Structure 1
Amino acid sequence: APLPPPKEVLQEAIQVIHKINRYHSIDLYDEVRELYAEYTGIESWRIWIQPSSDLFFEEIYLRYVPYGGSIVAPYPSYYLFEEQMKFLGFNVERVELSLPSFTLDVNKYLRQLKYAGYIDNPNNPTGKLIVNRECIEKLSRSGKPLIIDESYYEFCKYTVVDLVRRYPRLSILRSFSKAFAMAGARISILICGDEIAKGFHHDIVAYRVSTPSLAMAKAALMNRWYVEELVDMILENRRYLEEELKNLGLEVFESCTNFILVDTKVPNIVKRLRSNGILVKDLSETLGQGFIRVSVGLREEIDQFIHVLRRIIKGN
């Protein structure tokens, strides 16, 4: 996020630092679960918190997928997902998104779904919703464990979180790293169907998250006004960034997240931007030369980015 959370959240972390020599009360973990239950309208026993989405992937896939087994995922997708699956000893069965709309062929996905699946929705790096409710229900009826990554929910407001009550092996992944502006606190949320939820060991999971992170999460959920303000600012700046990029003659893909996919058609664009102090995600190997993912920042950051990009394009 381009801005940190407000003082109401940061002060909670500062206060508990003075007690960092002690383990946190398990009640603090459950208080955050209760607050997130209020936020989502889902029962708190279905909600689990970990310091990384990676740990949820491990918990679920190691439970259901044999070593060397396959996990189905869209391509392109969250860039670290395939790396972690390979590290755990799994294969990733790619289902390529259809161009130019970047949609997912659900029937093809279902045919490849032997053990378990993952779908980021909205998708990273395209910024698009690639499946709808009907598609997710169709996949969930297969009975295979399925994780739907809704890390960008606050920006798109599209969710299927209520479906966890109907499908015991469906899980919804959420994050405090984006709209809650707490990436460094490392807080991920999993909202689960019956079978997945009951597979977690409460006392083990509850002590994995640090005391400052839990205290900040509690304060954030009690002060959600700042999340709405931050999202509104980012959406407004996203529209501004889209227009500025289009004015440069670039192909800009519609996004419902806090980033934009852009086809600059400029060779070595990432390296040239980096030499000017600007960092973007390089997608040349994934989508082709010139493709980048640009995070939406503050207005002055956008202006600086456009200024540098315009100079590069003119000199190309």
Structure 2
Amino acid sequence: MKRLVPVLKQDGVDLDLIMLIRTILAASKEIAFRVSQGALAGVLGSTLDENIQGEVQKKLDVLSNQLLKDMLLDDDTVRAIASEEEDYVVGGHENGKYIVAFDPLDGSSNIDINGQIGTIFTIYNARNDVPFDSDEQFLQSGSEQVCAGYVLYGASTMLVMSTGGPTRCYTLDLTHGGYLLTQDEMSIPADSKEFAVNMANYRFWNNDVQKFFDDVLYASDEYNKASMRWNAAMVGDVHRVISRGGIFVYPSDSRKGIENGKIRLLYEANPLAMLVEKAGGLAVSNNQARILDIKPNTLHQRVPVIMGSTNLTKKLNFS
């Protein structure tokens, strides 16, 4: 099996970008260790604080964010970082080549039950036309990403990543502490009958979304034997979609604050959309607009999301 760095060099990835990816993955290994220790490391449970999203922070959220923040800001190729757990952009090195955005621990509600959680990250080229520590650094469409990936913490620790080429899967080898290539090119089947959606929100959806799932669950022979799979962690649900097909759906709904859905464009929707597309799937928002073409207006902007198997994704059109 090939190690990560030779694969990236084979793909023609810039050396500075390779070193930055290694910085992110060094933090992920430390997070993976803390996750594996659970209660033994004293990282379970909540803090008394809320993040910018209005969500109660878990201890492991705070720890993961700080690990990534400290290691990235120590890397002189990083001009600025943005995190789900930070209110504003954090400036790094004024002449750094790259900016990095991340969700340090997606699926926080699963931490205390030993469920699926993961780190999502994305890298862009830094902009020279705005201040180095400005939110405007990150107001770039997802199509401009130079790297997108996630690390899934579970029975094994897996890295799924693209630097513009295929979506590849690596597995952390605990014997030598490195990520080894275990799937050279992930491919999403065009057809599937699996879907990941929080059906508890059905009553808040608009008629188009309700009708689609009424057909899937009850009315249409086309979706005979359709199966719902829901982890309450986007990173885990999308990993299953990339691995074997299906769709992940999080539409907008009528609740205050969820009018544009719950998924953050910058550090959730964009990196996962890139990975889905590079694996042959589709990733769209309202009116089937391509997620990677949406230019964000704000740092923590939310968007409705459908992503996964091509044929099934095309059949759900909401506005």
Alignment TM-score, normalising by the size of structure 1: 0.32
Larger radius of gyration: 1
Alignment TM-score, normalising by the size of structure 2: 0.31
Higher relative contact order, chain-length normalized (CA < 8 Å, sep 6+): 1
